[in-house]
C-alpha cells in the first residue's frame, strides 16, 4: 500500500501529532503535579511554589501515611467495596441484560422492563427517599450500604444488552439442540463470548466504586467506616491541643503540610486504578463500540 506523501497529508499528520501530544500532556500533568507536590518540602507546598517539578525533597508525607492506621483501614474498606460491589453488580447486570437482549417473541414483557430501565436511568426519587430506603433495610454503617446503593448501573446494562444482541443467534440455537438450558447458554456460551464488553463494564463499575465518596459521607456516621475517597475528602492536618506530644512528634508534624500530605494520599489512592487499567485497556475500545451500537 502506497502512503500519500503530499504536503497536505504531512501537515495534517503534524497537526494531529501536536494536538494528541497536548491532550496527552494535559492528562498526565495532574498526576505528575500531585506526585511533585507530595514530595516537596512544606514551605514550598504551602507557598504554592510547586508547579511542574518538586521543590526540595521530603518523604515526610509518605512516612506519615505509613503510620496512619485510619488511612489503611479506609483503604481496606474500599478494596472490599470494589470487590463486592463489582462482582455483585456484574452478576446482576449480566442476568438483567441477557433477557432484555431477546426479541419480544422470546420475552413478551421485554418492552415493559425496557421502559422501566430507561425511566430509572433518566429519573430518580431523590436523595432523601434514597437515604430512607437504605435506612429501612438497616444497611447504614455497613459495607453493604456502599455495595448495594447504586448496584445496578443502567448505562452498563444497555452496553451489555446491545452486545448480547449482536451475538450470532446460530450459537444459541445449536446449544438448544444439544440440550443446553438458559443458564448453561448464558454462563457457558454468552459470557465467554462477551469478554470485551464484560471487561469494559467491570472497569467502569470498579472505578466508580473506588472513586465514589458521597455515599460514604451520607451513609456512614462512623468515620472509621469511611471508604478511602471519603476519608481523603475529609483530610486535614492539625496539631492536637488536648494531648501531650513528644518532641519527635512535634518535629514530625512540623515537617508536614496539608497540601503535600493530601497529595501523597491522593497519589496512593489512584495507584491501584493505574495498575489495573492497562490490563483491561485492550478490551475497552472494542467493548464500548460493540456494546453501544445497535444493529
pLDDT by residue (tens digit) across 6-19? 888 888 889 999 99
In a domain, 192, yes or no: yes
> Between vectors from CA 193 to CA 189 and to CA 198, what angle results, nearest 5°?
115
d(CA 284, CA 204) in angstroms, rounded, equals 10
pLDDT by residue (tens digit) across 162-218? 888 888 878 888 888 878 788 888 888 888 888 888 888 888 888 889 888 888 888
Among 98, 114, 92, 88, which residue's Cα sits nearest to residue 183?
98
Name the maximum alpha-carbon separation found in the chain.
79
In three-state secondary structure terms, 213 is coil
pLDDT by residue (tens digit) across 239-250? 444 455 455 554
Q: Which domain holds residue 147?
A: 61-292
In a domain, 163, yes or no: yes
In a domain, 25, yes or no: no
pLDDT of residue 293: 46
Look at the block and give the residue holding cell 432523601.
128
In a domain, 125, yes or no: yes
Confidence of residue 295 (pLDDT cuts 50, 70, 90): very low
Q: How far apart are the first and last CA of the chain?
A: 32
Cell matching residue 97: 441484560
In a domain, 50, yes or no: no
The alpha helices in the chain, defined as continuous H runs, are 7-38, 42-47, 60-66, 69-100, 110-122, 127-136, 143-148, 154-165, 169-177, 182-185, 195-211, 214-219, 228-233, 247-254, 258-292
- Cβ–Cβ < 8 Å for 237, 219: no
CATH code, domain with 162: 1.10.3720.10
Percentage of the chain modeled with pLDDT above 70: 85
In a domain, 13, yes or no: no
**CA-CA distances (angstroms) from residue 89 to 84, 95, 179, 226?**
8, 10, 29, 21
In the chain, how many domains are there? 1
pLDDT of residue 18: 94
Cell matching residue 145: 450500604
In a domain, 115, yes or no: yes
d(CA 139, CA 93) in angstroms, rounded, equals 22
List all residues 6 or more positions away from 93 whose beta carbon is below 8 Å from its beta carbon: 152, 153, 156, 157, 160, 201
Among 213, 210, 215, which residue's Cα sits nearest to residue 271?
210
pLDDT by residue (tens digit) across 121-150? 787 778 888 888 888 988 888 899 888 887
Sign of CA dihedral 197, 202, 208, 210: negative
In a domain, 12, yes or no: no
**What are the phi and psi torsion angles at 257 (to 5°)?**
-125, 140
- Cβ–Cβ < 8 Å for 59, 75: no
Amino acid at each position: 500500500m502506497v502512503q500519500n506523501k503530499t504536503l497536505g497529508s504531512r501537515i495534517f499528520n503534524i497537526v494531529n501529532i501536536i494536538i494528541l501530544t497536548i491532550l496527552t500532556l494535559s492528562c498526565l500533568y495532574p498526576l505528575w503535579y500531585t506526585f511533585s507536590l507530595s514530595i516537596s518540602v512544606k514551605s514550598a507546598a504551602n507557598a504554592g511554589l510547586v508547579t511542574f517539578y518538586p521543590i526540595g525533597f521530603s518523604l515526610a508525607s509518605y512516612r506519615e501515611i505509613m503510620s496512619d492506621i485510619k488511612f489503611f483501614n479506609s483503604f481496606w474498606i474500599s478494596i472490599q467495596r470494589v470487590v463486592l460491589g463489582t462482582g455483585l453488580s456484574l452478576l446482576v447486570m449480566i442476568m438483567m441484560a441477557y433477557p432484555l437482549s431477546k426479541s419480544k417473541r422470546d420475552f413478551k414483557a421485554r418492552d415493559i422492563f425496557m421502559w422501566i430501565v430507561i425511566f430509572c436511568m433518566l429519573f430518580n426519587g431523590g436523595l432523601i427517599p434514597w437515604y430512607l430506603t437504605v435506612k429501612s433495610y438497616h444497611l447504614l454503617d455497613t459495607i453493604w450500604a456502599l455495595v448495594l446503593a447504586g448496584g445496578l448501573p443502567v448505562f452498563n446494562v444497555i452496553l451489555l444488552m446491545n452486545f448480547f444482541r449482536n451475538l450470532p443467534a446460530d450459537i444459541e440455537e445449536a446449544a438448544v439442540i444439544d440440550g443446553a438450558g438458559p443458564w448453561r447458554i448464558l454462563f457457558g456460551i454468552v459470557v465467554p463470548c462477551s469478554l470485551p464488553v464484560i471487561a469494559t463494564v467491570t472497569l467502569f463499575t470498579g472505578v466508580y466504586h473506588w472513586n465514589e465518596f458521597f455515599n460514604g459521607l451520607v451513609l456512614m456516621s462512623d468515620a472509621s467506616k469511611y471508604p478511602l475517597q471519603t476519608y481523603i475528602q475529609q483530610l486535614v492536618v492539625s496539631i492536637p491541643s488536648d494531648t501531650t506530644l513528644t518532641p519527635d512528634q512535634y518535629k514530625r508534624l512540623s515537617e508536614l503540610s496539608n497540601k503535600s500530605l493530601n497529595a501523597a494520599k491522593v497519589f496512593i489512592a489512584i495507584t491501584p486504578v493505574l495498575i489495573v487499567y492497562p490490563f483491561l485497556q485492550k478490551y475497552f475500545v472494542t467493548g464500548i463500540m460493540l456494546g453501544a451500537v445497535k444493529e
